[in-house]
Structure 1
Amino acid sequence: MTASSNFDIDETPILASLAAGAASAAPGSAQVREILAKARELKGISADEIVPLMNLRDPELIDELFASARFVKDAIYGKRLVIFAPLYVSNLCANECSYCAFRKRNKEVVRRALDQDEIARETRMLIDQGHKRILLVAGESYPTRGLDYILDAIDTVYSVKHGKGEIRRVNVNIAPLSVEEFARLKEAKIGTYQIFQETYHHETYRQVHTSGAKTNYQWRLQAIDRAMSAGIDDCGVGVLFGLADWRFDLLALMQHIGHLEATFGVGPHTISVPRIEPATGSSFATLPPHAVSDEDFRKIVAILRIAVPYTGIIMSTRENAEMRRETFALGVSQISGGSRTNPGGYAEAAREDMSQFSLGDHRTLDEVVQDVARLGYIPSFCTGCYRLGRTGADFMDIARPGEIKQHCDPNAASTFQEYLSDYASPEARALGEQAIAAFIDGMEPTPARYSRVMVDKVRQGKRDVYR
């Protein structure tokens, strides 16, 4: 498969849909309920069907939207919540992005790029927390060796065997690459390649990206095409909500997803939904031009969940604990925990003057795990699909008919048990053991049988048990 060289977001139908929605009366209950009934068939809904949902103002119909999102989330993902942590290796950047603390001309940020020994030290700290998967993040400028610096960092993370654990999967959020460079990234055995368009609105994009390679809208937009052409079939996309009208960006995101599905037969593996948060040296981030309210943010998560039911939705620690809790049921399937967004932040300390943005959730991973378990969810540290080749279209072939639970539920139980046995506080262990028992009791007979066997193996001392 070769990369598409001319894909672009067509704003005309998006603007027409937004104008029609603004000019019309609030969507009627019959229309909305017909759309929600279709959503419960777990096959997604179209961009045209999203428009009435974005314009909902009736509290009763909004509650029905949320109920439908909860139904879809439970049917596809059940009570699993995948856990990861970001590992920032550098805050060097050659771009000038008005909303980001890492922007090139920001004199208020202390710059740092970790060397490989420091990356190994950060990795050991993450392992000591109990993490098994990380998202490696760097500003869009690398010290001395360019992309080789990132490839060396990935090798370093994988090489660390520490205490009772190791990082089993490295996902990557770095600057767009050429097809040839993406092929090298694939050879490094990454999991998911993640990149945010930030905003799909062309004029807004131009206004907030004023210098550096990131000013090239199409080069960034077509990065996923190049990554998939290079064989990286698990890719993640995202919007930084607050730069442009969230309704525009949501419809443009669906257009992008449609392009990927038509071109490669599979859409994004994950969608991230960050809102702009304050950032050192950025007055723009403190007062974003299109700030998204909490109510609209819940709608964004719920609409995405029913529109692309088999795609993971990622919620970072930008959001506070309360918002994270609320969105678990509405559609979020992956969360970070115990996060730091500055290079060296795990081994040393969190520093606002080195961080990309302000965190909303400062809790430790153990505290997050306790909270998740109390809510009836199972924190999953699973990386089995990556290592067994269940990625891209192969993953979707299992996910769409609902068969993925046969694998993911037992893997969630065994990896959570591993966390409880090796890293959890006594309180988290007690809560977690109860949560695992309830989780397995609620499974169908076959995955329940696998789960009990796998969990028992972990309790007897075996590690990295997955299927």
Structure 2
Amino acid sequence: MYYKNMEQINSDMLEQVLNLTKGYDYNIYTENDVQKTLNKEILDIEDLKILLSPAATDFLNLIAHKAQYETRKHFGSSISLFTPLYISNYCENQCTYCGYNCKNNIHRGKLTIEEIEKEFKAISQTGLEDILILTGESRTASSVEYIGEAVKLAKKYFSSISIEIYPLNTDEYKYLCQCGADFVCVYQETYNKDRYKQLHLAGPKSVFEYRFYAQERAALAGMRGVSLGILFGLDDFRKDAFSTAVHAYLLQQKYPDLKIGFSVPRLRPYIHEHKEQNPHYVNEKQLFQALCAYRLFMPFSDITISTRERAGFRDNVIGVCATKISAGVKTSVGGHKDDAKGDEQFEISDSRTVAEIVDTIKQKGLYPVFSNHIRL
């Protein structure tokens, strides 16, 4: 049930994704199916199913080599860098897996516009020109106007501005686009509607359908690009990874000028975590399989590797399939310039500075890119 003032658009994309996922039985595929897929130049949805299947696991080295070939063909040796800035951690949702859960007793905080500028200055001094602005999902604490002011301010320091906030209506995305936002990142978390309901107990985020159509509303609003993702570890990762890729594919077909990206975080420890809530653990090999499948299925798409992952894993996947990496990350509210004003959303595994990430990229024979966009 949509909340009041939640926009409903005329699209059947959700039904398409759910129907395709419902028909996905990843246990039916064989080694022969994988070999046939690896011999193809252009992949279709059936090939995606095969690449995400257990049968593909024994071919991971071959899949990785082909993924690296596609990455170099479309992105060269470039690895883009960015950092997130949390400007508020107030939230109105009750999500069982998140430290920002509105029922959690944590230190909440919100940056003033003056504090946001201090953070922007500190981040820009590292050389970064790509910023991701994040908030907890609270319209009350973090209004669209407040986020818009932060975006306008970011234009003084950065050439590319992404936002990861609560889903908006088309006119609101259009307003933030006019303020200077380029990209919208929204995690569906899981595409299993039953599981989604179990995980999202209350708040606007409990409306599965409204969240699903966030990227399409952003596209209609004129955003340059969108990023999709699930939280690996909440449900069956093969089906969730499949749903995400199909969602991205259908968006690309419908909006061919839209730049598509994938974000691929795994569930990490968080404040007030209950260990029994993570029965769907995803290991690094499985995550790598999904990353390579994304690259082969949608070779032009950006793939971001999160600081939730350990440094060694991140170093291995850049240049193979990932094209974008975060650096100098703080998941608390603020913390780049002064002491943090609010608790972190989750623990990170890779706390390296921007300079340390840059050195690693160069040591691998790759080229660190601070911006690939010129703002006109």
Both proteins in one fold, TM over 0.5: yes
CA contact (8 A) 1:193 1:234 kept: yes
Give the distance between the partners of 1:129 and 1:211, measured in 2 at CA. 39
Residue-by-residue CA offset, 1:392-415 (whole Å, 9 max, x unaligned): xxxxxxxxxxxxxxxxxxxxxxxx
Residue-by-residue CA offset, 1:20-54 (whole Å, 9 max, x unaligned): x32x4x6124x32221122xx3x4x2221122222
Structure 1 residue 7, shift from structure 2 partner: 3.4
Once the two structures are superposed, the pairs formed by residues 115-126 of structure 1 within 5 Å of their partners are: 115-126=112-123
CA contact (8 A) 1:341 1:350 kept: no
Structure 1 residue 75, shift from structure 2 partner: 1.1
- 2:168 aligns with one of 164, 170, 177: 177
- 2:191 aligns with one of 194, 200, 211: 200
Residue 314 of structure 1 aligns with which residue? 304
**1:77 partnered with 2:75:** yes
Residue 153 of structure 1 aligns with which residue? 150
C-alpha RMSD of the superposition = 2.1
Residue 131 of structure 2 aligns with which residue? 134
Residue 404 of structure 1 aligns with which residue? none
Residue-by-residue CA offset, 1:322-354 (whole Å, 9 max, x unaligned): 110111133100010011011121113469x70
Residue 13 of structure 2 aligns with which residue? 7
Structure 1 residue 200, shift from structure 2 partner: 0.9
Structure 1 residue 287, shift from structure 2 partner: 5.1
Structure 1 unaligned blocks of 5 or more: 160-165, 389-467
Give the distance between the partners of 2:238 and 2:257, measured in 1 at CA. 24
Residue-by-residue CA offset, 1:338-371 (whole Å, 9 max, x unaligned): 11011121113469x7011100101111111111
Secondary structure of the corresponding residue to residue 187 of structure 2: coil
Residue 397 of structure 1 aligns with which residue? none
CA contact (8 A) 1:46 1:307 kept: yes
**1:360 partnered with 2:349:** yes
Which entry has the higher C-alpha Rg, 1 or 2? 1
**1:369 partnered with 2:358:** yes
CA contact (8 A) 1:97 1:210 kept: yes
Give the distance between the partners of 1:265 and 1:372, measured in 2 at CA. 31
**1:188 partnered with 2:179:** yes
CA contact (8 A) 2:31 2:55 kept: no
User: What is the identity percentage for the equivalent residue pairs of Structure 1 and Structure 2?
Assistant: 27
Residue 443 of structure 1 aligns with which residue? none
CA contact (8 A) 2:95 2:201 kept: yes
Give the distance between the partners of 2:201 and 2:143, measured in 1 at CA. 22
Structure 1 residue 133, shift from structure 2 partner: 1.2
Give the distance between the partners of 2:83 and 2:175, measured in 1 at CA. 23
Give the distance between the partners of 1:207 and 1:58, measured in 2 at CA. 31
Structure 2 unaligned blocks of 5 or more: 1-7
Structure 1 residue 91, shift from structure 2 partner: 0.3
CA contact (8 A) 1:260 1:266 kept: no
Structure 1 residue 152, shift from structure 2 partner: 1.1
Structure 1 residue 244, shift from structure 2 partner: 1.0
CA contact (8 A) 1:305 1:330 kept: no
Secondary structure of the corresponding residue to residue 61 of structure 1: helix
Aligned partner letter, 1:156 = L
Count of aligned residue pairs for this structure pair: 368
- 1:265 aligns with one of 256, 259, 280: 256
Q: Using a 3 Å threshold, how does the CA distance of structure 1 residues 291 and 268 change in structure 2: closer, same or farther?
A: farther
Give the distance between the partners of 1:373 and 1:154, measured in 2 at CA. 31
Residue-by-residue CA offset, 1:150-197 (whole Å, 9 max, x unaligned): 0111122234xxxxxx32222111111111111101111112111111
Give the distance between the partners of 1:243 and 1:237, measured in 2 at CA. 16
Residue 304 of structure 1 aligns with which residue? 294
Give the distance between the partners of 2:52 and 2:160, measured in 1 at CA. 36
**TM-score normalised by the chain length of structure 1:** 0.75
Secondary structure of the corresponding residue to residue 322 of structure 2: coil
Q: Using a 3 Å threshold, how does the CA distance of structure 1 residues 267 and 383 change in structure 2: closer, same or farther?
A: closer
**1:228 partnered with 2:235:** no
Secondary structure of the corresponding residue to residue 59 of structure 2: helix
Give the distance between the partners of 1:251 and 1:350, measured in 2 at CA. 37
Give the distance between the partners of 2:257 and 2:198, measured in 1 at CA. 32
Residue 28 of structure 1 aligns with which residue? 31
Secondary structure of the corresponding residue to residue 245 of structure 2: helix
